[in-house]
Structure 1
Amino acid sequence: MISGIIKGWEAASRFFSFPGFKRKTIFRSHSLKDPVLAGKVRENLQKSRPVVLLYFDLVKFHEVEQVSGFQAASKILAMFKKSLEREIPEILPGIEILAVENLWGDDFVVLMAMEGRPEHGELQKIAVTSRIGIGERIKQEYLKITGREPDIHVGYAVLSFKAENVESQLYTALREAQGMARGSISLETAMLLSEFREILDQARFEIVYQPIVSLRSGGILGWEALTRGPRESYFRSPEIIFSFAEKAGLLYPLERVCRRLALENLGDLGPDQKLFLNIHPRTISDPHFVRGETMRLIGEMGLKPSSIVFEITERHCIKDFPNFNKTLEHYRSQGYMVAVDDAGSGFSSLQSIAEIRPDFIKIDMSLVRDINLNSIKRVLLETFINFAEKIGCAIIAEGIETGEELTTLANIGAHYGQGYFLGRPVFPKAYLDETVEVKVLRLASSGRNRAWKHAFPVGEIAENAVSVRKDCLVREVKKILEENDLLDGVVVVEEGKPVGLVMRYRLDRYLGMQYGVPLYFDRPITSLMDTSPLVVEEDTPIEIVSQVAMNRNRLKLYDYIIVTRNQLFKGVVSVQTLLDTMTRIRLEMARGANPLTGLPGNIAIEQELSRRARENEDCAVIYLDLDHFKSYNDRYGFESGDRVILFTAALLSSVVKKFGAKNDFIGHIGGDDFIIITVPEKAEILCAKIARYFDRLIRRFYDPEDRAAGGIRGCDRSGGETFFPLISISMAIVECTGHDCLYDQKKFSEKAAQLKRYAKSLPGSVYVKDRRSRVD
């Protein structure tokens, strides 16, 4: 058992290049596998008797072997082990020795049980006494064999009183003791180690959550989980916590505890909201991580992998990208998303982005701070945004601390924002402050960030394609292509999942080479296929697919785009089909969109109603109209009126995205009239949310005096002066079962008009259904 832990530690040390690890020319397997020994360790821990691990290392012992030979080196090692077995009990009377083992080469471990938990000073004294005592015992013989006195390094660690998971405790204790012996753990670190281990064992960390906000819709994308230590402790700051854990070799167990706490304390997430978890690049290859512990935890919390974003910090260098990406692809295949953190401040940011291909790029606060005053930073951020959109990912600007910074970021098109101005890290997780929410909604409804953007899924234009298995021969694929001149390529699949692509031109190029036919004809198609084709899920918007496709390597620019459904092969899309569809959609948008809000206009609304009628869908149509809008326009002017219209469009989009159904539709009929088409069970929920948010936020569009008065004075239609309340919103819900209601447009319109008139006759923001009952 313990042998497996030691070997696993040695392998991990080679892979991650832990400080102090070196290969030994003499390797001896040890006998710590004995389950009786494991039982003794567990028994002592259960009795609250701490088990101390002493680690001994003969300094520069490899030189002894090189100079004096293998036989002399072996003799010294045997003598050293014998001295430990005989002399440790004499040097440290009253201590029960559980095991003395030669792990490999000149590395030795002593496991011993003590009465009462030893203080740091006592452990240091034990280590120093052992080093001096053993050195004196072997000094003469060592000097006789090598011609010099022995130099011994000693480190120590204490196993906690938790009797479970003894293997993991031994693994951690061995690393701590070796780090101390070889100098990677300083005396100061060793003194704090006991306190840190206690905090870690008891999971006394506080998890706080900071919101990440969409600057294009005003909704919350998700929350980043951040770790804080006990308030009274030296380890309060997250910087100290993680740097200390890395130095002490406890980064893996620390991140496991923090992940668990972050998930357990999260609370509910919306359907499209995310939890961002910070992950050290090395941790992602931690065996506990790989075995699916995170998958188990999110399952217990009722979440999906797509709700989790692994945030890879840029403050640590990634040395082995091929192995790192291999592990990362394992998690991507399960549905997890990836973000690169601190872009612009860490190690090789552009290389990391190119290698990792993240879903989100988090821009470091150093590039965000005072961006409203720095034209260079603005240009740099705009470049990042354009770059991100071309590779199909999104930008998150970190460290937003002022309204001016937020305005600048929104105006240059940043996708998401995070920072103290939007929300501080707190527990439990919080939503936006009212004032901030108003500002974000205003920004989301203006300039580059229109409230509506067409999102046509690529699956709608996917075409059937020929697929072959991995063991299919090249000659068979060549025959398939020869028999179908219209076929440009075939997809290679394994268990229904696409694993490669063979385009006609690629196959012809290889077979047209000298000796190409005899070399490849009878080999599996895997020898010639493209192993990294562009693969997208069927619900991916074609705008994103187009950006990614047109930024591929120019040699693969016109290759098929493979479309999947739940990661299983569905079909392909040619670049020609993609571009034709994009052109058609843009023409339709230009013809049907409202010029002020960018929302679908009357043509698109009629098409959507007709489509639902053809498909016999049950739906609810909500007609929305602003009350007292004309008086507001007269008082504040058309420009202010337009801002209210834009605000309303952004609010509707935000509410529908957060509380509506997947295929809900929002349209702008014209002026202050809007329409929402949703499923019947969502209609009243949406109306209640819209009324609540509208009444709370519309006040910000009035001067303080008018807000205090609750309205404005103006002229009515007959020219007489009257008092007009603040703008409110009236909503009429018409439910349509099947296609009859939508086909009978006259009857449908009459019913909607009657309901809307009735709603407008009621004070305040209200909604009514065709049963003519009012619901506030």
Structure 2
Amino acid sequence: MRFSKGLLELIKELTSQAGQLPLDDVELTGRVAQAYAGRLRSLLDLVGQEANEAELRGAASDLLALFAGNHDKELLQRRIDLGRKLGAAEVSLEQLVTAYGFFFGRCCDELVPVIQFLERELQRVKYGGTSLLLDLDLLLLGYQGEVARQMRMFSEVDVLTGLLSRRKFEEELQQALEFSRRTKREFSLYWLDIDNFKLINDVYGYIVGDIVLKVVADFLQESFPNAFAIARIGGNEFGVILLDAGPAEALAKAQVLCQGISELKIRPLGEEGIFITSSIGVASYPHHGQAQADLMLAAEVAQVTAKRKGRNRVQLIDALDESTNPTVVHERILLLREALRSKESIVPFYQPIVDLETGKPLGYEVLARVRRGEKFLSAGLFVEAAEQSGLMKDIGSIVIEQAMREKKSSWAKDKIFFINFSMRELENRETPRFMADLFNRYDIRPEEVVAEITEREAVLDMNAVQAFAKELTDLGVRLAVDDFGSGFSSFIYLRYFDCYFAKIEGSLVREITRSGRSRMIVENMAKLLQKLSIEVVAEFVENRETAEILRRAGIRYGQGYYLGMPVRCPGNRD
């Protein structure tokens, strides 16, 4: 308990004058205590709270002790606690001061026969004291009003950047919706995320991170001086509302904004500059949603998609693309949650990876399927929803464990199981321990399992991925780079990881019968991989001609519908 210097001086002054009031009169103090307890009881009745008589008597006793000059810490703390209880009971300061005004008048009336005041002098004292309490009440009302104003301001404005808060932004978005409905106009919403912001905080500290946020906020205000609303809607996320801007115009402006952010020169540490990029999602009314929640979700989904595609880019939500349509994604998330409650609804399918020379399967890629009635939904129909909802890890765990159980089947004997791991699973330190436990539990040889590094999401923590790869290879598991050639990162993986297989991106393989350029790219990628002693698997082998071109190019293994469809149980047909 700490008091201001002024209050301590007041307490000291009152202590020096203790004994001024005639509190040795038992009848007088009894009436005063009764009057005080009655006022407190009335206050609690006003707010519908039941009074505790023992507590009221204790409060009155403490007040008399305070009048008597007892200012010890325990008593002062009890008075503070009483104030907190009254506040918790929602007794307003105005009600409390008013009650004290009436109580002061009652005290003066009780003291007249004891102190022998003249009636006229008593009225003056009562008038002066009550006026003082009235003034205190008015000041407290002003104080409360200012506190409320500041609280309201803080709820509407982000203190760090000076932009609108998320709550106020959502209110503004609702106003934009209502205005656009009435006037039959369109508008667009941006959801902007600063890429790798956590890394900035980790490397440079939170003060520098705050500087970056302020620079971006200022740049947004400079870029869109006539924006309907600009807000900080998350830790490193910003929202912008542009009236009378349709999808095409909003997309063009967002691309200029994205480029401008990448060119910002931020030098909080002198000459050493910090360079940032952003991922921006764009959604427009009425094209991508006609309710506040739908538009916010659409813009966020677009932003997440931009980030997954490599960051430093703009993504316009595609209402016709089911993988990014918010309504469809939401429905699929609900379907996945329902399937997870019954683990029998999530099962592995197996697609053969075939030796192009012999036609025999080297092994199988393990693919997740969701059972719906008599049908099975393929991964393409739910993987995006699973990753957006954070359910991919749970689905993967169920499928992998069931695949390890089925590895003991006769058709799987001596065959390699290729298992996909998303970036989030690779960054999770529990995944290698989970795999080691399955190997022990089902007596699986780790060398018969290949972990495919799948880059559907950007790498957030390369050190964690390297640690994952090392732990798995230490167990005996072999590594494969999936979708090799789809992005620059797949070449980085060759440098950092000891890969045994590389699966060439299917879109390149599919074109080799029609495009000489694609054929040349695939053939030279295969030569590069073979020089690195990496076995090559070609994906999307969909016809005999493709298989023959790959075989003549020295590519040993293939995977695709021509070589074998994904099935629940390959049986003994192999």
TM range (shorter): 0.3 to 0.5
Q: Which has more helix, going by share of residues? A: 2
TM-score by length of 1: 0.32
Larger radius of gyration: 2
